[in-house]
């Protein structure tokens, strides 16, 4: 089974949900640039302050910042044997930069998650998160007590970029970047298409089949 996995897909497709399951199963770190940026925002760092404005508008944080952050994370000892990238690379420049930083190494597999727009919006607008990053959905993955995280009892909120207006912008940015990125991984021979519809268990089962082939 390939252990260097990239998850591509629209906002709200379920990349984070799937990445967490796969990372546990194959025992590699889940590296999500969105989570890393949100941690910077929560800590109030200079980077976090800059990133927040961009994230709240639905745009992309500059490549140089994100690549440096990802490379630093992937250089740690726990990532030597593999990783699951979620939300990174976001464009071809980031993909090529990543390969350059790791002496031309390419992922073993890239799962390209496809989902229709109505379901994307349903998943995003129903998402609730706790300050420590646990993720729920009001319909498909509700907490035991509405509004409260099962894991740590903290209050659940909506992400600031999960409004309908910002989601529209995030989707527009996504569609501008995704085709060249998909073509890049297709040319490298590592692209697999994953139907991201259906419940999380079905998506996970399909993903396992694809990464095990």
Q: Work out which of 52, 123, 184, 206 binds ligand AP5, going by CB under 6 A.
A: 123
Given 4, 170, 192, 206, which residue is catalytic? 170
Closest-CA residue to 67 (of 84, 87, 40): 87
Alpha carbons 160 and 167: distance in angstroms, whole number: 10
**Number of residues counted as binding ligand AP5 (CB under 6 A):** 36
Question: Binding ligand AP5 by CB under 6 A: which of 26, 60, 178, 182?
Answer: 60
- Catalytic, out of 52, 73, 90, 206: 90
Q: Is residue 11 part of the contact set for ligand AP5 (CB under 6 A)?
A: yes
Handedness of CA 136, 142, 147, 149 (dihedral sign): negative
CA-to-CA separations, 80 to 63, 69, 86, 109, in angstroms, rounded? 23, 16, 17, 16
Residues from 143 through 172 that contact ligand AP5 (CB under 6 A): 161, 170
Produce one character per residue of 176-201: b if its CB has 16 or more CB atoms within 10 Å, e if not: ebbeebbebbeeeebbbebebeeeee
41 binds ligand AP5 (CB under 6 A): no
Please give the positions annotated as active site: 15, 90, 127, 159, 170
Residues of this chain that bind ligand AP5 (CB under 6 A): 9, 11-17, 33-34, 37, 54-55, 58-61, 66, 87-88, 90, 94, 123-124, 126-127, 135-137, 140-141, 161, 170, 199-200, 203
């Amino acid at each position: 089974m390939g252990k260097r996995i990239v998850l591509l897909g629209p906002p709200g497709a379920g990349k984070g949900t799937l990445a967490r399951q796969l990372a546990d199963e194959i025992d590699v770190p889940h590296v999500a640039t969105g989570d890393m940026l949100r941690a910077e925002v929560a800590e109030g760092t200079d980077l976090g302050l800059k990133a927040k404005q961009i994230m709240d508008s639905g745009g992309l944080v500059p490549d140089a910042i994100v690549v440096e952050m990802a490379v630093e994370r992937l250089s740690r000892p726990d990532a030597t044997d593999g990783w699951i990238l979620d939300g990174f690379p976001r464009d071809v420049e980031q993909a090529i930069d990543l390969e350059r930083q790791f002496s031309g190494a390419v992922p073993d597999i890239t799962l390209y998650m496809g989902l229709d727009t109505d379901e994307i919006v349903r998943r995003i607008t129903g998402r609730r998160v706790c300050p420590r990053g646990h993720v729920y959905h009001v319909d498909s993955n509700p907490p035991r007590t509405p509004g409260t995280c099962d894991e740590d009892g903290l209050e659940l909120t909506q992400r600031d970029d999960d409004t309908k207006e910002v989601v529209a912008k995030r989707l527009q940015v996504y569609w501008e970047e995704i085709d060249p990125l998909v073509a890049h991984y297709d040319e490298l021979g590592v692209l697999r298409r994953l139907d991201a519809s259906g419940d999380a268990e079905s998506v996970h089962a399909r993903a396992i089949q694809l990464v095990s082939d």
